[in-house]
Amino acid sequence: MKVALPYLYILAIVTSFVTSFFATPQIRKLALKVGVLDAIGERRMHTEPKPRIGGIAVYLGLAFSLFVTIGFALHTTLFHKANDTQDFFGLLFGSTLIMLVGVWDDIMGMRPRNKFIAQIVVAVVSMIYGFHIPGFEIPGTDHYVNLPFWIDYPVTLVWYLGMMNAINFLDGLDGLLSGVTAISGIFLFAIAAGHAQAGAALVLCGLIGGALGFLPYNFNPAKIFLGDTGSLFIGYVFATVSLLITAKIAVTVSLLVPLLALALPVVDTAVAIFRRFRAGKAITEADRGHFHHILVFRFGLNVKQAVLLIWGVCFVLGAAAYWLSRADSAHQHLAGIL
């Protein structure tokens, strides 16, 4: 039985949303029972300890949606069974590993160095599964440059580490990261689906649904936080899906599209690293200099206002990324005709 892709996308989003929505209260009860709470502190925005392993719900939403839809997906004519199955299970394996790293950090605590090493291990495992940056097209030409492995894999490693930590740094206000995940995910889904990259689009549907199912419990005032469990997992999925898109879409700006859609956390992290380096601090040392902190403490916005403003910025960046991908596709198509 062949199933139309739009129905698969809808099934993935609905399955993920329902799973995350109903799993979150149970995970919250578990966190309260075992005492996995995010304590109050100088740079914290909440005034009382709150559960912080909510990312498990988003992970379950994505994983369950893929297990439900993968059987149907492999019966569609747009899926190549061997390659797409490897992509699905490779991504699930890697996301499970990084989710467990986040759980360990949220429950037991990890030294920054050990957490960084764990991220490197997960990134290397993902590269073994074939997730890497093989090359790029030179702007204005049809010439594709294949990167040698000694450039390809280090760049991919930096991409993974940068994205996971950028998303982690962004998780500072109630509902901020879950909303950004949904918004950026929607535009990346539109880009992937528009270029017939059904595998990447299906994964993004699972991520979007999971984030939206978690959001009602995470929006201000939050009842539960994503924690490193969620932020590392979300960063990993975004990094991997972006590689799938850039590796399989032969467009001039393919490397820029996901970077633009996720520009806010990337730029915020780059500024944070520079700020801490200039101040002689460790780059892992927390502070209140992130974009969302500035909106609250320097400009006087409340948490909801700051979150909504950042959501708006992400929407504009996502729309720009989508426009850029469509404009370049039109250019490539026109060049092919001429």
Least confident of 72-86, 121-135, 176-190, 320-334: 72-86
Least confident of 120-124, 142-146, 273-277: 142-146
Q: Is the pLDDT of residue 205 over 80?
A: yes
Query: Which pLDDT does position 105 carry in this prediction?
Result: 93
- For tokens 């994205």, name the residue: 163
Structure tokens that stand for 1 in this block: 């039985």
As for how many domains the chain has, the answer is 1
Q: Write out the E strands in the chain.
A: 37-38, 50-51, 135-137, 144-146
223 and 33 in contact (C-beta within 8 Å)? Answer: no
As a whole number of angstroms, the distance between CA 168 and CA 88 comes to: 23
Query: Which pLDDT does position 336 carry in this prediction?
Result: 46
pLDDT tens digits along 260-304: 767 777 787 777 777 777 777 766 666 666 677 788 777 778 889
As a whole number of angstroms, the distance between CA 281 and CA 21 comes to: 39
Structure tokens that stand for 106 in this block: 């949220």
Decide: residue 32, CB within 10 A, 0-12 exposed, 13-18 middle, 19+ buried.
Answer: middle
Query: Per-residue confidence at 49, pLDDT binned at 50, 70, 90?
Result: confident
HSE (side-chain half, CA atoms, 13 Å) at 53: 26
Decide: residue 319, CB within 10 A, 0-12 exposed, 13-18 middle, 19+ buried.
Answer: middle
- Non-local (6+) Cβ contacts of 63 within 8 A are 92, 95, 96, 206
pLDDT tens digits along 218-235: 998 899 999 999 999 999
Neighbours of 38 (CB within 10 A): 19
As a whole number of angstroms, the distance between CA 256 and CA 327 comes to: 13
Query: Which pLDDT does position 80 carry in this prediction?
Result: 55
Query: CA nearest 156: which of 125, 186, 184?
Result: 125
**Domain range for residue 38?**
5-337
Tell me whether strands 144-146 and 135-137 are parallel, antiparallel or unpaired: antiparallel
Query: Per-residue confidence at 251, pLDDT binned at 50, 70, 90?
Result: very low
Query: Per-residue confidence at 337, pLDDT binned at 50, 70, 90?
Result: very low
Mean pLDDT of 10-34: 96
Query: CA nearest 259: which of 333, 162, 125?
Result: 162
In degrees and rounded to multiples of 5, residue 146 shows phi and psi of -85, 125
DSSP single-letter state for residue 135 = E
Q: Which amino acid appears at position 220 of this protein?
A: N
In degrees and rounded to multiples of 5, residue 87 shows phi and psi of -60, -45
HSE (side-chain half, CA atoms, 13 Å) at 107: 16
As a whole number of angstroms, the distance between CA 62 and CA 262 comes to: 19
Query: CA nearest 89: which of 43, 130, 41, 29?
Result: 130
As a whole number of angstroms, the distance between CA 45 and CA 271 comes to: 21
Helix (H) / strand (E) element for 124: namely helix 112-128
Q: Is the pLDDT of residue 101 over 90?
A: yes
Structure tokens that stand for 86 in this block: 């490897």
